[in-house]
Structure 1
C-alpha cells in the first residue's frame, strides 16, 4: 500500500499551473488556491477542479454551483499566497482587480486566462470533491509568463528571458 506522504512527495515532481478558484452566489463570495485543475474535453468545453472537502469554503462552492478558474501569471505569487492563507474571503478579494463574465463568479482581470464555469457534476473521492465544470465563457490576457508549482515551490515559465535563434 502506498503511504499518503510517499504519494505527496512523488506528486511534488508534477509541475502544475497555479490557479485561484472563485465563486459567488447565494452563499457569498469565496476563493482558494489550487493546482488540481485540468481539461476534460473540448466538446463541450469542460474542466475538472478538485477541492478538499475540509476546506471552509467547500459548502459555498456546492451551494453556488458556479466557479471560475483564474490561471495565475508570474506576477501573481502574492495573490496565490493570499488565497491559500487563513484570511477571510473579504480580505482575500482585496488583492487584485476583479470583474465578472457570464456566471458572476469573480474573474481576476489580469489572469493569464480565466474560465467561467457552471458546476455540472460533483464526485466525492477520498478527501476531495471533483467538480466537473462546463465552461461558459473565457477571458485571455496578453501576459506570457505563467506561475507554476514544482517541488513545493513557485517557479515562473514563459517567454521572458528566452533567447530567439535566427
Structure 2
C-alpha cells in the first residue's frame, strides 16, 4: 500500500490546469478551486470533476446537479486563491466578473474556457466525490497563457507576446 504522503508528493509532479468550479441554486452561488478535472469522452462531450467531500460547498453541488468548470488564464492567480480561501461564498464572487450560460452556474467572463455542465453521475471514492458531467455549453476567450499548478506552485504556460520596439 502506498503512503498518502508519498502519493501527494508524487502527484505534485503532475502539472494541472487551475480551475474554479461553480454552481448555483436556491442557496446561492458556490465555488471552489480544483485541479482534478479531466475530459472523459468527446461523444458526448463529458468532463470528470473531483471534489473533497469535506468541502463546505460539497452538498450544494450534489443538490444543484449543475456546475461550470472555469479554466483560469495566467492573470487569474488571485481568483484561484480567493476560491481556495476561507472567504464566504458571497465574498468569493465579488472577485472577477461573472455571467451565466445554459445551466445558470456562474461563468468567469474572461476565463480561458468555461464548460457549463449538468452533473449526470455522482460516485464517492475515499475522501472525494467524482462528478461525471456532460457539457451543455462552452465559452472560450482569446488568452495567450494558462495558469497551471506544478510542484506546489503556480506557473504560466503558453505563448508570450513579445513587444516590438
Instruction: Name the TM-score, length of structure 1 as normaliser.
Output: 0.96
SS at match of 1:91: helix
SS at match of 1:40: strand
- The equivalent of 1:38 in structure 2 is 38
Instruction: Name the TM-score, length of structure 2 as normaliser.
Output: 0.97
In 2, the alpha carbon distance for the partners of 1:75 and 1:67 equals 22
SS at match of 1:48: strand
- The equivalent of 1:87 in structure 2 is 87
Residue 19 (structure 1) aligned with residue 25 (structure 2): no
Q: How many residues align?
A: 162
Q: Give the RMSD, CA atoms, in angstroms.
A: 0.8
Q: Deviations over 1:110-147 (max 9, x none)?
A: 00000000000000000000000010000000012000
Contact 1:79 1:96 in 2 (8 A): yes
SS at match of 1:82: helix
- The equivalent of 1:75 in structure 2 is 75
Q: Which runs of 5+ in 2 are unaligned?
A: none
Contact 2:65 2:119 in 1 (8 A): yes
In 2, the alpha carbon distance for the partners of 1:140 and 1:27 equals 28
In 2, the alpha carbon distance for the partners of 1:125 and 1:57 equals 18
Q: Which runs of 5+ in 1 are unaligned?
A: none
Residue 104 (structure 1) aligned with residue 109 (structure 2): no
SS at match of 2:13: coil
Q: Deviations over 1:3-59 (max 9, x none)?
A: 100000000000000000000012321000000000000000000000000000000
